[in-house]
Amino acid sequence: VTTSIHPAAFIRVWDIAQARKVVISTAVREAMDSLHKLGKGRIPDGTLILPKIDGAHLKPARRLHKIVMGPIRGGKLAARNAAVTPEAELKAAAWLQTSQAQELVAGGAKVDSKGGRRRLAKKMVSVLGLSEAAALGLITKFKKKRIL
């Protein structure tokens, strides 16, 4: 017996459960992981009709990937975000305004280039005394805020 799971419905249930702070059972986590393991383009389409989500949102398959790589598998992203403190954010923002940081970013450590993100993180670790996880988390945060 095969069970077809509609990814968008699964995501909707996940979001509601998270909003209500419901503890997600191991069985649900395993089901989500097995759905994710099917791979991109192989996640089955369902026949459920869901209400439209207002505002910006990811496609269900992409959102499923983000959820699985984050809380389900105990992802690195949660650890990075937790490592970022407000003090570290202020310190890093001030450092990014210095000429040393400006030269580094302009001189090849572009955060979008291969290895550039890591190079910038290593420099932040050495100059600011942050952990590598915190430095990477700050880079992500600054990219989202369009500071980098």
Q: How far apart are CA 141 and CA 124, in angstroms?
A: 14
Mean pLDDT of the chain: 77
pTM over 0.85: no
In order along its 148 residues, the chain shows pLDDT tens digits of: 344 556 777 777 788 888 888 887 888 778 777 777 877 667 666 655 556 767 777 777 788 887 777 766 666 767 777 788 899 999 999 998 887 777 777 655 566 666 778 888 898 999 999 998 899 889 888 888 888 7
Provide CB contacts within 8 A for 35, sequence distance 6+. 5, 7, 10, 43, 64
